[in-house]
Amino acid sequence: MILSWIDEMVAITLECSSSKGTEKSSDEAKSRMFLASIIRHMKIIQRTITWNVISFFLNVHLIYYLLLFIYCLFPT
């Protein structure tokens, strides 16, 4: 089952890559390989991961500067 799926993906990729318009052939290959709901779900996951990474680094920096401020107020 997996091998037939891989063969189908390779065939679609080769067929679409032989087209002249690269952007159109790329979109066509994506639409033929994956369902629209799967692509939408993958974009949501990517956006969520991006926001989690950004908020993590923002929190780390805020905590660092808060501790630095407290240290400046009450030096040892």
Secondary structure (DSSP) of 6-50: HHHHHHHHHHHHTSS-HHHHHHHHHHHHS-HHHHHHHHHHHHHHH
Residue 37 lies in a domain: yes
Residue 14 lies in a domain: no
Residue 54 lies in a domain: yes
Residue 35 lies in a domain: yes
Residue 9 lies in a domain: no
pLDDT at 70: 93
- The domain of 47 spans 26-75
Total domain count, the chain:
1
Is residue 51 within 8 Å of 63, Cβ to Cβ?
no
CA torsion, ordered 45, 47, 48, 49, to nearest 10 deg: 90
Q: Is the pTM here over 0.85, yes or no?
A: no
pLDDT at 5: 67
pLDDT at 41: 77
pLDDT tens by residue, 5-50: 677 777 777 766 666 655 666 666 666 666 666 777 788 888 888 8
Looking at residue 32, its amino acid is R
Per-residue tokens: 70? 């407290």
pLDDT at 62: 95
